[in-house]
């Protein structure tokens, strides 16, 4: 069993703290995705798990064994990078077999493992080709094959699909999901891509500046972000944030107002908020509807309009001076410059306090 535990893992380069004390408990067979903005430490953390980068302090265990001081090849991990780094002069077969060949495994066993990996990855017909005779997606599958034959306890992927075009990404993403189901191995996958994170992960760790901002199931992060950072990072298009004030507070509701926004009452059981407190209202574009009459709502004029087919993406400049984006039905009658009313689904509103923490409505 390859449970993986990180305890207070830190990394500094010189006197710059890059990874600032990360705790993660990953269960055997889980598919974990690390997301976060560029430079937040995703690759560094992955390389520390792989043993390619020393840790400055803390502890990493794989399958109950402390691996801090073990070299990469003794950690039972295999890593797949963004650049596939295949040997151009070798065939697909030899590329996949490379690690086993230099480890001196018997030819018969190598052949069997390569055949197995080729079958899983549908590379059977391509084994005698050179990398230059393959598409990008096929090359990435060869790189994954090289990882599979090593039969690791943990697979580490660092943005493996980012060199592929959009259609290939979708295909290869589905193949990686299937590979995970078939092999049942623990996988950690780094990506910038929201959709990859949401669709592949059992749990997502959202990193920011070397710390984990939230670790949870994709839909939990979407529905219940712990803080403004996660709320703004998960979900595309991004959640709207509007500065508001608590007008009045009852046992289980808060009534809010903002400049140009009619009072909005949201359910908030047990929130310890005083009237007058400044808060941030978060509402996702897909939880806003528009209307054309004058009923209580946020009003403004449409300054951007993109028709996506089944949906329309609009940006509304409100009378209160905010910019609010909404995703509305593709058949809605709306044009650039129209004045529209915005209605927020009160059951889908989020509130954040001055520390950027969610009030957990």
Ligand X SMILES: Nc1ncnc2c1ncn2[C@@H]1O[C@H](COP(=O)(O)OP(=O)(O)OP(=O)(O)O)[C@@H](O)[C@H]1O
List residues binding Mg ion (CB under 5 A): 43
Residue 207 or 279: which CB sits closer to Mg ion?
A: 207
User: Which among Mg ion, ligand X, none contacts residue 76 (Cβ within 5 to 8 A by kind)?
Assistant: none
Residue of closest CB approach to Mg ion: 43
Q: How far is the CB of 283 from ligand X (least distance, A)?
A: 28
The pattern of x and - marking residues 2 through 41 that bind ligand X according to CB under 6 A reads -----------x----x-----------------x-xxxx
CB 164 within 8 A of CB 134: no
From 4, 24, 31, 42, residue interacting with ligand X (rule: CB under 6 A): 42
Q: How far is the CB of 10 from ligand X (least distance, A)?
A: 13
Residue 144 CA: distances (Å) to CA of 80, 81, 172: 6, 9, 11
Which of 294, 292, 311, 310 lies closest to 302 in space, CA to CA? 292
Report residue 331 as tokens. 């058949």
Residue 12 or 267: which CB sits closer to ligand X?
A: 12
The SS3 of residue 263 is strand
Residue 43 or 76: which CB sits closer to Mg ion?
A: 43
Q: How far is the CB of 177 from ligand X (least distance, A)?
A: 22
Q: How far is the CB of 163 from ligand X (least distance, A)?
A: 13
CA distance 312 to 335: 11
CA distance 271 to 254: 8
CB 7 within 8 A of CB 62: no
Residue 42 or 297: which CB sits closer to Mg ion?
A: 42
Helix intervals (H) in 234-282: none
Beta strands in the chain (DSSP E): 4-13, 16-26, 31-35, 57-62, 65-66, 77-80, 154-158, 186-190, 203-208, 211-216, 240-249, 253-258, 261-267, 278-283, 288-291, 298-307, 311-318, 323-329, 339-344, 350-352
Residue 43 or 140: which CB sits closer to Mg ion?
A: 43
From 24, 26, 33, 44, residue interacting with ligand X (rule: CB under 6 A): 44
The pattern of x and - marking residues 183 through 212 that bind ligand X according to CB under 6 A reads ---------x--------------------
Residue 191 or 318: which CB sits closer to Mg ion?
A: 191
- Which residues lie near ligand X (CB under 6 A)? 13, 18, 36, 38-44, 192
């Amino acid at each position: 069993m390859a449970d993986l535990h990180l305890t207070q893992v830190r990394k500094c380069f010189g006197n710059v703290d890059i990874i600032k004390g990360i705790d993660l408990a990953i269960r055997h067979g889980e598919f974990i995705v690390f997301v976060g903005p560029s430079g937040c430490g995703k690759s560094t953390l992955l390389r520390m798990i792989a043993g390619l980068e020393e840790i400055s302090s803390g502890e990493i265990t794989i399958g109950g064994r402390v691996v801090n001081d073990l070299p990469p090849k003794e950690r039972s991990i295999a890593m797949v990078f963004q650049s596939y780094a295949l040997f151009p002069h070798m065939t697909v077969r030899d590329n996949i077999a490379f690690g086993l060949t230099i480890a001196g495994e018997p030819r018969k066993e190598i052949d069997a493992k390569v055949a197995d990996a080729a079958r899983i990855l549908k590379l059977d017909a391509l084994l005698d080709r050179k990398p230059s005779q393959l598409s990008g997606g096929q090359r990435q599958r060869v790189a994954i094959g090289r990882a599979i034959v090593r039969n690791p306890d943990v697979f580490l992927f660092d943005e493996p699909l980012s060199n592929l075009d959009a259609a290939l990404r979708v295909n290869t993403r589905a193949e990686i999901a299937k590979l995970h189901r078939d092999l049942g191995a623990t996988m950690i996958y780094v990506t910038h891509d929201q959709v990859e994170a949401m669709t592949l992960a059992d749990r997502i760790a959202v990193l920011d500046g070397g710390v984990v901002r939230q670790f949870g199931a994709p839909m939990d992060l979407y529905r219940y972000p712990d803080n403004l950072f996660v709320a703004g990072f998960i979900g595309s298009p991004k959640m709207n944030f509007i500065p508001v004030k608590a007008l009045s507070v009852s046992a289980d509701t808060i009534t809010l107002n903002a400049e140009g926004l009619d009072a909005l009452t949201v359910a908030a059981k047990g929130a310890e908020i005083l009237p007058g407190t400044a808060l941030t209202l978060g509402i996702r574009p897909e939880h806003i509807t528009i209307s054309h009459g004058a009923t209580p709502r946020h009003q403004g004029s449409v300054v951007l309009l993109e028709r996506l087919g089944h949906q329309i993406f609009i940006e509304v400049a409100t009378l209160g001076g905010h910019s609010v984006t909404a995703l509305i039905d593709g058949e809605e009658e709306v044009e650039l410059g129209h004045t529209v009313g915005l209605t927020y689904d009160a059951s889908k509103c989020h509130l954040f306090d001055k520390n950027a923490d969610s009030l957990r409505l």
